[in-house]
A and B are shown apart, each in its own frame.
Chain A
């Protein structure tokens, strides 16, 4: 028994190490690229490590650097884009979570006519490719005067991400035992109180995972902000970085550095959410 468990332990360690190598390998390439000169990046045969590492790209992107932080400077634009991405992603996460929890709970626990049809309709929208919707969406957003606005952007993100949220919450709520909730209802709690006081605390790990998913899904949006957030003040970092692609020359170090900085907010969010992931109490799982 002990021997078999340690085999499993080794296997687990191997999986973790393998996953880290697979994930971080390319990120490491980005890190090296971000401190290399252009001629080292494009050198053939490849130069693995820069001979004269330089922080030029980071200096150009950070307000304290030589690039200066004045309006219109690269650092200023980048900072503003990071802030936009953060604000829009946080707003989307908050709205999506609340709406998905309510709807997921309703579909899983409340018996009302039409819920099956409506639930399936909501979840099915996941298969729609964004390319198929952009033009009619553009028309509606123009009519509602929501193009180039923060609420407009957040609403489209929510509409794209909420179906997954609803589906995941539906599935969690189904897993939560009914007993305590019924008891609370009998004790005179309202449905909403039962949801908040009894159901939600039991779903904390699920909520943490979903928070991470929604935040990342918003953070990585590209086509939607490209089309619906045209003003410089609403441009998220994913769109801004494409501007670093030149006609004949692309500053690869700058792109890599910007990409690495853009990893920080999602990584910090994931780190904070990881505390909610509970440990298994007994060693039953593989």
Chain B
């Protein structure tokens, strides 16, 4: 989808955008609404909203002042660690309260929070042109509505250590999965890297996302349209992905620490020059990798496209969105804030000041073309292979499944159960949850 977008005639985009701007100026109440989605009027002058964001997405005060000058809406930023935001939302909601007017809305929350009783459908909050330009809209869709708007286009991208590859006599990063396994074996045998693969197989969210990523790289879908598990068959991508992880543990491609390390600790192995391949790299990692106070591999690393079965593989996005709680009493002002975030210049500023990769394809393209993103061309190519985990939006039971999946992946990696046993339990769990 993003690919076709970037190829679209820029004139058409401009025309649609202009119409949309006009519509927005008239209060944003126009456009094709799906039946139940509410519309958003203009915010009242002097309205105040609370925006709850993870601490790593701290929007600088001067940017918020700009927004206040443009819209008359005053923003109070409430920051918390990502984990804590979920705890706060869940508790406050159970007690019939909302924690803010705009809140973080992670891709993984779509199933659980994507109901109109909890969050406001945002189909009419932004113009159709903006929506068309926006990536990850499917990931945030539930019941035919867009429940959140992407503000941080986080995705997985491969990273490798050129120096270590050269030391093992390998000249190019792996293009396919077979090449990857061959390269890992070479890196290990040659002694270029004792544990060449960075892997997260601890009982944390990082382990499930790694498994999804590997499954997608192997060309598979984990669930079909009816949300039935598609990984029970030993020939399926999901099964092979877990088998690969266990093999990587056994052969010592991955460090023994993979069973307890969270994704940050695992990443430290790549940045510390222990491992040579990080499949779960992210946009922005290049900058960290080249910072000598944080990394020992400055100048040694590069992005590469996630290897697939034949050629580049699909990748997995972990975008973060903004949602408006159903109980917010400042929905118009909240929607104005979300529209402001999507302005091209604001997106560019968020990248340079906060390090958030924009979610608008046009913004990514412009920033890559302008050389504003380290490793930009590879990132843009990789984003073209972005695939939602659930084509029809995440199921309500996603969080429960994910917790069990990570524990089962962890058990298989520790050798407490076989791949077949872990997979069987995982698909049982998915079926049981799917049946309510």
Q: Contact residues of A with B, CB < 8 Å? A: 37-39, 42-44, 72, 134-136, 138-139, 142, 147, 223, 226-227, 230-232, 239, 242-250
Contacts and interface: CB of A to CB of B under 8 A. Distances in A.
A242 B282 contact: no
Question: Which 9 residue pairs of A and B lie closest in terms of their CB atoms, listed nearest first?
Answer: A138-B95, A42-B268, A243-B55, A242-B81, A38-B294, A135-B94, A139-B95, A246-B56, A247-B56
B272 A43 contact: yes
B271 A39 contact: yes
Nearest to A52: B293
B84 interface: yes
Contacts of B265: 42
Given A44-B272, A142-B95, A226-B87, A248 B285 contact: yes
A80 to B, nearest CB: 13
Contacts of A245: 55, 81-82
Nearest to B61: A72
Contact of A242 (B80, B94, B268): B80
Contact of B272 (A39, A72, A231): A39
Contact of B97 (A37, A142, A246): A142
B274 interface: yes
B92 interface: yes
Nearest to B292: A39
Contacts of B118: none
Interface of B: 54-56, 61, 76, 78-84, 87-88, 91-92, 94-97, 99, 154, 263-265, 267-269, 271-272, 274, 282, 284-285, 288, 292-296
A31 B288 CA distance: 24
Contacts of A139: 95-96
A138 B55 CA distance: 24
Nearest to A56: B293
A243 B272 contact: no
Contacts of A250: 264
A175 B266 CA distance: 56
B288 A227 contact: no
A72 B77 CA distance: 10
Contacts of B274: 44
B293 A37 contact: yes
A248 B282 contact: yes
Given A43-B272, A243-B79, A244-B55, A230 B264 contact: no
A249 B285 CA distance: 9
A243 B26 CA distance: 39
A38 B293 contact: yes
Given A39-B272, A139-B95, A142-B95, A227 B88 contact: yes
B379 to A, nearest CB: 15
Nearest to B282: A248
29 contacts: A37-B293, A38-B293, A39-B271, A39-B294, A39-B296, A42-B271, A42-B272, A44-B269, A72-B61, A138-B91, A138-B97, A223-B87, A226-B80, A226-B84, A232-B79, A239-B80, A239-B84, A242-B80, A242-B83, A242-B84, A243-B79, A246-B55, A246-B56, A247-B154, A248-B267, A248-B284, A248-B288, A249-B294, A250-B264
Most chain B Cβ neighbours within 10 Å, of A39, A227, A231, A239: A39
A226 B288 contact: no
Given A42-B271, A44-B269, 14 more contacts: A42-B268, A44-B272, A135-B95, A136-B95, A138-B91, A138-B94, A223-B87, A226-B87, A231-B78, A232-B78, A242-B80, A245-B55, A245-B81, A248-B264
B342 to A, nearest CB: 21
Contact of B91 (A38, A39, A43, A227): A227
Contacts of B78: 230-232
A242 B88 CA distance: 14
A244 B55 CA distance: 7
Given A72-B61, A247-B54, A43 B296 contact: yes
Contacts of A226: 80, 84, 87-88
B68 to A, nearest CB: 15
Contacts of B54: 247
Contacts of B97: 138, 142, 147
Contacts of B269: 44
A226 B55 CA distance: 14
Contacts of B271: 39, 42
A138 B95 CA distance: 6
Given A39-B272, A42-B272, A230 B81 contact: no
A230 B95 contact: no
Contacts of B61: 72
B249 to A, nearest CB: 17
Nearest to A42: B268
B80 A135 contact: no
Nearest to B57: A247
Contact of A230 (B99, B284, B292): B99
A249 B265 CA distance: 9
Given A138-B95, A242-B81, A249-B264, A39 B285 contact: no
A246 B267 CA distance: 13
Given A39-B296, A230-B99, A250-B264, A243 B81 contact: yes
